[in-house]
Amino acid sequence: MSNSKYFQTILNGTIHALKSILPMDIEVKSPSIISEPFQQQQMGVLIGLIGDVKGRVIIDSSPDVFSGIGSTMFGMPLEGEMLESFTGEFGNMIAGNLCTTVGQESLEIDITPPTVMVGNTKLYGFEKAFVLPVSVPSIGALTVLLTIEEEG
């Protein structure tokens, strides 16, 4: 499978995962491609992809957005350590669902444990990445960054 096919499969799988996990209608906007560094503003979660494809899924947003999603999913607002724990688990849910979805396309990937990042961070270590903007009605915006390491 070519890298462009990998990207398309993972991009589609990520959109499917977001729509499956989030208990509300979301608006997924057109993806774009960026070069490093990626500037994380407030809070995010990074999950590594290993297997047929190596790369990362990074979900970036604000504590208010992650708290709003948690509140919608669990019926109570989240803050502090509970919010950070939820953010990591939210990344796990998205990436785990992604693995299942792309597995149906004969792409075998597994995920690493989540790394929650709080604060202003610059991320390096990739040539190009897909940026997938997502709007969650009445809650706010998420940015999903997908990197795939080039083979060779």
Residue 66 within a domain? yes
Which pLDDT tens digit goes with each residue over 96-145?
Answer: 999 999 999 889 999 999 999 999 989 888 888 899 999 999 999 999 99
**Nearest in space to 51 (alpha carbons), one of 1, 116, 123:** 1
Cα of first residue to Cα of last residue in the chain, in angstroms, is 14
* Domain housing 43: 1-146
Question: What total of structural domains would you count in the chain?
Answer: 1
Which pLDDT tens digit goes with each residue over 3-33?
Answer: 677 788 999 999 999 999 998 899 999 999 9
Residue 115 within a domain? yes
Residue 152 within a domain? no
CATH number, residue 107: 3.40.1550.10
- Residue 84 contacts residue 118 (beta carbons within 8 Å): yes
DSSP character string of 16-53: HHHHHHSSS--EEPPPEEEESPEEE-SEEEEEEEEESS
